[in-house]
Structure 1
Amino acid sequence: MTTTMDATRMDIGALTPYLERSIRGFNGPVSAHKFAGGQSNPTFLLKAVNGNYVLRRQPSGPLLKSAHAVDREFRVLDELASTSVPVARAWHLCEEWAVIGAMFYVMSFEEGRIFWNPALTEIARDERRSYYDPVVRAMATLHDGDVEAAGLSDFGRAGNYFERQIGL
């Protein structure tokens, strides 16, 4: 049984065989369920016979040239996989708009809880540290990493990032 969400305008019938050809071990049929939150790129849980995956796609409609760069997201995940930074596995980037009407990528689904509010209001105040500590360790690992070794030395604009963010 395959399903789709009206808001996605994804053709699950076309997506399933495409992913079976593109991702080793992928086995349909597939259903897609949009995550409730998120920022600019719609994100979906794909349920396949062989397990769960996550699909991030560009939104429908006209896009700004530098916005909704799912290809950049994919590249960062893919390159960071060879480092000690904990990231989801990047399985496949599809730049063929004809498949579902937008560029998208598929990554591994990682079990865990999703906290939409970064203040972790759902967690008792005295327990929040145990949730923040792994995030801080991951960020420290990311910032301590060797950009060249990770294959990301040409990623982004060179120069003083902070000056560009706060300069007039």
Structure 2
Amino acid sequence: MLDLKKCGNGSAAYCNGKPSWRATWHASERRKRRAPQDFQRLKGRSSVAAAAYRSTSCLTDHRIGATFDYTRKHKIAAFILTPENAPDWTCDREALWNACEFVERANGVVGREVEISIPRDIPESDWQAFAEEICARYVEAGAVVDVAIHAPTAADKNKNPHIHGMLTTRAGCGRAAWIRIH
């Protein structure tokens, strides 16, 4: 059983549990997944702003002194998955992404995002469990994953469900003691 600590709303993470979407995920990953997107300071990107936008919350980036309020946007769910040994502060979205900004050098990569399509044949009630199962592999590697599930209307007038997974690029026990993960 995979040891995950889950922060936010919803059920506990699955590993070898029911239901399993392994076959669907592999097919979907090859065709629809985009390459990970980096949040680089050099390009003026703020991981705190990105986290606020994806989670539809209000967060303050302490490094630049700006507040990002996206509470009027719509999301299906937003939660944080952490390794079992992660400190409790990693469950606080604002503290997590400000810590990532703090420990990274001026031209470094603060975080990465993967966007994954949710197959439409998976019922909406199972989208969160699907997201937890897919993101578990990143948590196993030591990353903290900030997950948001969105479902805007597609061109064919059906829902376009997808997962935004923001990954930390460092793992560790303290704010300044994080080690690089690749």
TM over 0.5: no
Greater relative contact order, per chain length (Cα 8 Å cut-off, separation 6+): 2
- Structure that is richer in strand per residue: 2
Give the TM-score of the pair, scaled to structure 2.
Answer: 0.28
